[in-house]
Amino acid sequence: MQLGEEAAEAGDVVKEAFRPGVRAATGISAPGMAGFRRSHREALAAQSVAITTGNGRPITCYADVELACLAAGSGGMAAMRALVERELGQLAATDDATTRLRDTLREYLAHGADARRAGAALHVHRNTVRYRVQQAEQALGHPIDERRAHLELALHCHHVYGADALPGSG
């Protein structure tokens, strides 16, 4: 089940149980007490979106409004770190090989998924770019186009903030 599908499925169940006028907001589930706290902060951010927009939907899922929350500054560094951890997963590692994959993926996406242009920017052959993109997709566990906006934002945050973008750094 993909991120967002879980929330949508839960949302359908909850919608049926709600009386008119009753509203809820959910965060993204994560393990442990730290995950519970993060999910609660996310639910509060989703609630804020629901209240501010007056959308009238019975349930607002953070997974559906995450980029808007981050753009509005809701959640601060903690929310940004959660996004980086969730989206990059293994690509957040700090070893040289993973750094090359992450940098290649960032350049590839920045150049409109054009391996030739990304290769020129990185001073590598386009086939090297294609190979690294395939490796990155394997590390992510899904195609890069599946959650492209989220992935690009996570890559950008990691590029700008470096190790400070990772959970446990703040």
Residue-level pLDDT at 7: 53
Structure tokens at 58: 């019975």
Q: Which residue has the tokens 């700008």?
A: 160
Asked if 105 and 154 count as a contact pair (C-beta separation under 8 A), the reply is no
What span, in angstroms and rounded, lies between the C-alpha atoms of 100 and 94? 10
Q: Return the DSSP state at 142.
A: S
Note the helical H segments in 18-147.
32-53, 62-72, 76-88, 96-110, 115-122, 126-140
Residue-level pLDDT at 39: 93
CA atoms 137, 169, 81, 59: torsion sign: positive
Low-confidence ranges of the chain (pLDDT < 70): 1-18, 169-170
Residue-level pLDDT at 89: 92
Residue-level pLDDT at 1: 44
Structure tokens at 70: 């981050």
Residue-level pLDDT at 124: 97
CA atoms 35, 71, 61, 54: torsion sign: positive
Structure tokens at 166: 């990772």
Amino acid at 117: R
What span, in angstroms and rounded, lies between the C-alpha atoms of 42 and 9? 18
Buried b (16+ CB within 10 A) or exposed e, 133-155: bebbbebbeeebeebeebbbbbb
